[in-house]
């Protein structure tokens, strides 16, 4: 973290900057305080170490919520970070370059694909994370959909990690990124 944050950087990212129950079909978001969902806070595929832009992050916060969507139960993770200067823009550049350089496969065999760009404004990307999970002797592929978008120096990540045995939903993250970006306007 930078030593001189300036008066325009809030002490903490407030609740009102995060997705609310009305956005989450009634699901209540809880702050993520441990390493849960660390690979989505923010995603850094293809990197052995933190992306260079990580050192420009001034404040960050993550929440998760269990929500109902299209007759299923799923876990949504939201990450919000305030960066120094153009750090959020640099993060998205680092992300794209890392996925291209690694051909979408990270060191643990997790596969990352860029499905679309400009899904939530000019500086945004829709990702699909695929990983093999073993449960009860059976191997299956788990899919997590992630949208990362920047507005000013704020980065917003919304991910649907799926349910106990179900995949995440592309449509849900595409739907949630709009209110997520609207809510972070209090930080601009």
Task: Please give the model's pTM, rounded to 2 decimal places.
Answer: 0.91
Contacts of the segment 141-144: beta carbons below 8 A, 24+ positions apart: 142/167, 143/167, 143/168, 144/40, 144/168
Question: Average pLDDT, whole number, for the chain?
Answer: 90
Q: How confident is the model at residue 2 (pLDDT cuts 50, 70, 90)?
A: very low
9 has pLDDT over 80: no
Q: Show the 3-state SS of 125-160.
A: EEEEEEEEEEECCEEEEEEEEEEEEEECCEEEEEEE
Beta strands in the chain (DSSP E): 30-31, 57-69, 72-83, 111-117, 124-135, 138-151, 154-162
Least confident range from 3-17, 32-46, 91-105: namely 3-17
Average pLDDT of span 55-84: 95
Full set of structural domains in the chain with CATH: 19-187 (3.40.1000)
pLDDT given for residue 34 in this prediction? 87
Strand order from edge to edge, sheet including 154-162? 30-31, 57-69, 72-83, 154-162, 138-151, 124-135, 111-117
| pLDDT tens, position by position, 87-105 | 999 999 999 999 988 887 7
Judged against a pLDDT cut of 80, whether residue 6 lies above it is answered with no
């Amino acid at each position: 973290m930078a030593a001189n944050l300036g008066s325009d950087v809030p002490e903490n990212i407030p609740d009102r900057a995060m997705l609310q129950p009305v956005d989450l079909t009634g699901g209540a978001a809880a702050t993520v305080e441990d390493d849960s969902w660390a690979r989505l806070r923010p995603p850094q595929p293809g990197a052995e170490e933190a992306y260079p832009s990580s050192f420009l992050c001034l404040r960050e916060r993550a929440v998760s919520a269990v929500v109902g969507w299209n007759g299923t139960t799923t876990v949504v993770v939201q990450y919000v970070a305030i960066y120094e200067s153009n750090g959020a823009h640099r993060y998205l550049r680092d992300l794209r370059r890392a996925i291209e350089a690694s051909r979408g496969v990270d060191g643990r065999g997790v596969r990352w694909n860029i499905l679309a760009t400009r899904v939530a404004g000019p500086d945004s990307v829709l990702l699909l994370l695929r990983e093999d999970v073993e449960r009860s002797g059976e191997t299956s592929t788990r899919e997590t959909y992630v949208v990362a978008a920047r507005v000013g120096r704020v980065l917003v990540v919304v991910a649907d990690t799926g349910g106990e045995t179900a995949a995440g939903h592309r449509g849900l993250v595409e739907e949630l990124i709009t209110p997520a970006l609207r809510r972070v306007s209090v930080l601009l």
